[in-house]
Amino acid sequence: MVGGLDFDRARLGWWVVGFALAAAVLYVVYSFVGTFVFGIFLYYATRPVYKRLRRRIRPASLAAATALVALALPVLLLMVYTAAIALQEFNNAATQTDLNGLQSAVQPYVDVSSILQRPDELLANPDPQLIRDVGQSALQYLGLIGTAVLHLFVMIAIAFYLLRDDHRLSRFFRRQFADEGGVVEAYVRAVDRDFNSIFFGNILNALLTGTIGAAAYNTLNFVAPPGLAIPYPTLVGLLTGAASLIPIVGMKLVYFPVSAYLGVETAVVDPAFLWFPALFFGVSLVVVDTIPDLVLRPYVSGRNLHVGLVMLAYIFGPLLFGWYGIFLGPMILVLVVHFVRIVLPELVAGEPIRPWAVDPTYLFEPETPETAVASATHGADPAAGESPEPADQASEDEAADAEPDSDGAETPPGRGPRAAPKPREVVVNGVNDGSADAVCLPVDE
């Protein structure tokens, strides 16, 4: 009895430690939930590119970094081109604008001429209050910039390590949580498939939105009044598409300032043409912003889900959670839909959970020469048109995945105290889903 009591106390103590550690992890994730969610989005957005690069680029770290750069490079080039255009326009305005009127307007408050002639006096007799205000503002902006850079670094780090080590995470998950009925595996495969569809669909939506914007703005310039055309319509359209990756306010950061610029310019040139800025704003709001966001994004993102549910997830997600809700809302939808489809019916009926989508006869069948050849392909996806990895690359990956135990011995992949038998195939919704890598958590072939 005493031994049993001590054993129960020890288990209780470890349960307390486990709950405390879980609470700490949940607190960290909750504090930076937007960062983690966006990092997962970057992972799924770059995973198709990484899978193709991984067959040609080694090691995996270089392939993951290249995939992330490939995703960011078009945006960076667009930003550089935009900055070059902005500097060119600023230089033209500075050389063509007469600043005498501005100097006369500022003269009663600040003696600009004396400051330009004797700038050393400004340093010799500084204003303490002005220095304090400037210092406080600079510290606030530096704090905001530092926080943004830190969050960006964490997002990139999450995506990078998930790309490089997702198969290890998959193997660990299978060892620890795999069940004989294949329920966990079927659930995770379905979630992973739809996560990949939804998040890569956001990138596809940005490309389509940029194309729609460029076409719409170039078309508007055909009916623009003389001298009031949209400046650089193709660039404005592409910027609108890139900004669509920023939830809620993304595209508005582009066409709101352009609408204001057109309105001011039209009011100065001829107020009778104010209909054109209004037309530009209406086309931007309806054709470029609303229709792609509410119709196109759910269609390209949730091909395996009901379009209406995906649309509602994109609407209510940002309203409930903020800027990251456009990613978290669809994630919650996917988790709930597949839980209801695979697990809930058996829970309600009180029966053993045996998902109809998984045929148990395929889960524990002994390996044959045919299955050995199939496993040697190491994660090829025939449905996606992917070719098998070379055998030497697969062996290198498996050798890299063999991690030492606490006593220094290596544990081969797939072996552990709770190792689950390796499935031959899993059929979800009657379709053989050959996806191999994933986070959340994927199943490694």
Other Cβ atoms closer than 10 A to 179? 10
Beta strands at 410-411 and 431-432: parallel, antiparallel or unpaired? unpaired
Does residue 33 have a pLDDT over 70?
Answer: yes
Among the residue ranges 25-39, 178-192, 262-276, 334-348, the one predicted with the least confidence is 178-192
Read off the pLDDT of residues 196-230 as tens digits, 9 standing for 90 and up: 888 887 788 888 888 898 899 999 989 888 888 88
What is the rounded average pLDDT of the residues 95-123?
A: 58
Does residue 404 have a pLDDT over 70?
Answer: no
Please tell me the predicted confidence (pLDDT) of residue 102. Answer: 57
Does residue 376 have a pLDDT over 50?
Answer: no
Does residue 294 have a pLDDT over 70?
Answer: yes
Please tell me the predicted confidence (pLDDT) of residue 158. Answer: 92
Does residue 356 have a pLDDT over 90?
Answer: no
Confidence category of residue 438, pLDDT binned at 50, 70, 90: very low
What is the rounded average pLDDT of the residues 94-109?
A: 61
Please tell me the predicted confidence (pLDDT) of residue 142. Answer: 86
Please tell me the predicted confidence (pLDDT) of residue 313. Answer: 84
Confidence category of residue 22, pLDDT binned at 50, 70, 90: very high
CA-based nearest residue to 163, from 56, 74, 68, 73: 68
What is the rounded average pLDDT of the residues 66-83?
A: 81
Residue position matching structure tokens 């995506």? 159
Euclidean distance between CA atoms 177 and 86, whole angstroms = 55
Please tell me the predicted confidence (pLDDT) of residue 126. Answer: 64
Could you tell me if 303 and 294 are in contact, meaning their C-beta atoms sit under 8 angstroms apart?
no
CA-based nearest residue to 195, from 30, 50, 40, 425: 40
Confidence category of residue 420, pLDDT binned at 50, 70, 90: very low
Among the residue ranges 52-56, 128-132, 263-267, 396-400, the one predicted with the least confidence is 396-400
Average pLDDT taken over every residue of the chain: 73
Please tell me the predicted confidence (pLDDT) of residue 429. Answer: 43
Euclidean distance between CA atoms 83 and 403, whole angstroms = 48
Encoding tokens for residue 268? 């100065």
Enter the DSSP assignment of 107.
T
